[in-house]
Amino acid sequence: MEQSKIDRINELARKSKTAAGLSPEEKEEQFRLRREYIAEWRQATESTLDNVYFVDDKGNERKLKKK
Domain that includes residue 31, residue range: 3-63
CA distance 67 to 10: 33
Q: Per this entry, what is the length of the chain? A: 67
Contact residues for 21 (Cβ-Cβ < 8 A; gap 6+): 15
Per-residue pLDDT at 55:
92
Q: What's the number of domains the chain is made of? A: 1
Residue 17's domain is classified under what CATH number?
A: 1.10.287.540
Query: For residue 67, what pLDDT is reported?
Result: 77
Residue 44: pLDDT above 80? yes
pLDDT digits (tens, 9 = 90+) for 26-41: 999 999 999 999 999 9
| pTM for the whole structure | 0.76
